[in-house]
Amino acid sequence: MIMQYGLRTQVKIMNWLLSPPSKNDFLRLLHAWKFWLIFSLIGAAIGAGIYFIFPPDYRAQATVVVDFNLEESWEQIPDRELFYYLERESRKLVEVAWSDETVDAVAQEFADLTGSSLRQERLALSQPQDGAWHFYADDANPARAEKIVQTWVENFNQQVQDGTANALALNALKTALENGDVALADVEDDIAKLESESLGISAYIQSSLSQKDNLPIARTASLAEYVFLGATAMLLLSAVWILFSGKAHE
């Protein structure tokens, strides 16, 4: 008897939960518009309160202009392979940006940060391949966020410039070797060293810092976003409460 009663109760609850909305449900929601409005205002106030009590971090942005000089590489790379060249070289630069040498140089400037914490929590990169690469750093202190991203882009830019300089020297050495100007035995160690230090970067790439000082800094999320999310969340909760409380009394 108890098992049958429990089974009937479960079936009744499932039917109640899975029953499609009726006309009365929609009418109940429409009639409760004042309730919606009040809960939305309460949610907006809660969202604003959370924003001021637990404000989001600041985000500083720095930009590095990367030019792959496709016009110079045109003679060396077939037209059909230019797209793959651009994608391949972009991936290489992304690896340089996140490499241990680049990120650890930032961590060394801040005693409480590590390369792992920077990658997971502080740094972000947005790049459109050929053009402006945007680097971001988050921190509760705006000046500190600016310093972090400045250090990051400076190290990235230096790594790229050193890599392209070594790539140019490597190409010149290989050309001299092909022309017979030097012997392989004389330059073999130099070639191996340059190949390692060039980071596999193309010699045609050029990079420069677009802006180093007075970087744009803003919160990672705005007050309007917190207010909107708070109002939306409370609006949904109020709608669910109205519907379920109405069904519970039927």
Q: Which two tokens stand for residue 33?
A: 């518009």
pLDDT digits (tens, 9 = 90+) for 87-127: 888 888 999 999 999 999 999 998 888 989 999 989 999 87
Residue 8 confidence class, pLDDT cut points 50, 70, 90: low
Residue 248 confidence class, pLDDT cut points 50, 70, 90: very low
Q: Does residue 64 contact residue 208 with C-beta atoms inside 8 Å?
A: yes
Q: Is the pLDDT of residue 52 over 90?
A: yes
pLDDT computed for residue 3 by the predictor: 53
Q: Is the pLDDT of residue 146 over 90?
A: yes
Q: Is the pLDDT of residue 186 over 80?
A: no
- C-alpha 50/C-alpha 27 separation (Å) is 34
Q: Any idea what the Cα angle at residue 93 is, between residues 166 and 119, rounded to 5°? A: 125
pLDDT computed for residue 119 by the predictor: 92
Residue 177 confidence class, pLDDT cut points 50, 70, 90: low
pLDDT computed for residue 164 by the predictor: 83
> Does residue 88 share a domain with residue 40?
no
Q: Is the pLDDT of residue 18 over 60?
A: no
- Phi-psi map region of 194: left, alpha, beta (phi>0 left; psi -120 to 50 alpha): alpha
Helix or strand holding residue 66 (H, E): strand 58-67
Mean pLDDT across the chain: 79
DSSP letter at 161?
A: H
Counting the structural domains of the chain, the total is: 2
> Does residue 147 share a domain with residue 243?
no
Going by C-alpha positions, the residue among 206, 221, 42, 194 that lies closest to residue 138 is 221
> Does residue 199 share a domain with residue 118?
yes
- C-alpha 61/C-alpha 153 separation (Å) is 10
> Does residue 189 share a domain with residue 75?
yes
> Does residue 95 share a domain with residue 9?
no
Of the two residues 29 and 84, the one the predictor is more confident about is 84
Residue 200 confidence class, pLDDT cut points 50, 70, 90: confident
- Residues 135-159: what's their mean pLDDT? 93
> Does residue 64 share a domain with residue 50?
no
> Does residue 36 share a domain with residue 90?
no
% pLDDT > 90, the chain: 32
Domain containing residue 233 = 2-54+223-248
> Does residue 139 share a domain with residue 19?
no
> Does residue 150 share a domain with residue 39?
no
> Does residue 24 share a domain with residue 114?
no
pLDDT computed for residue 237 by the predictor: 84
> Does residue 166 share a domain with residue 47?
no
> Does residue 79 share a domain with residue 25?
no
- Residues 73-99: what's their mean pLDDT? 76
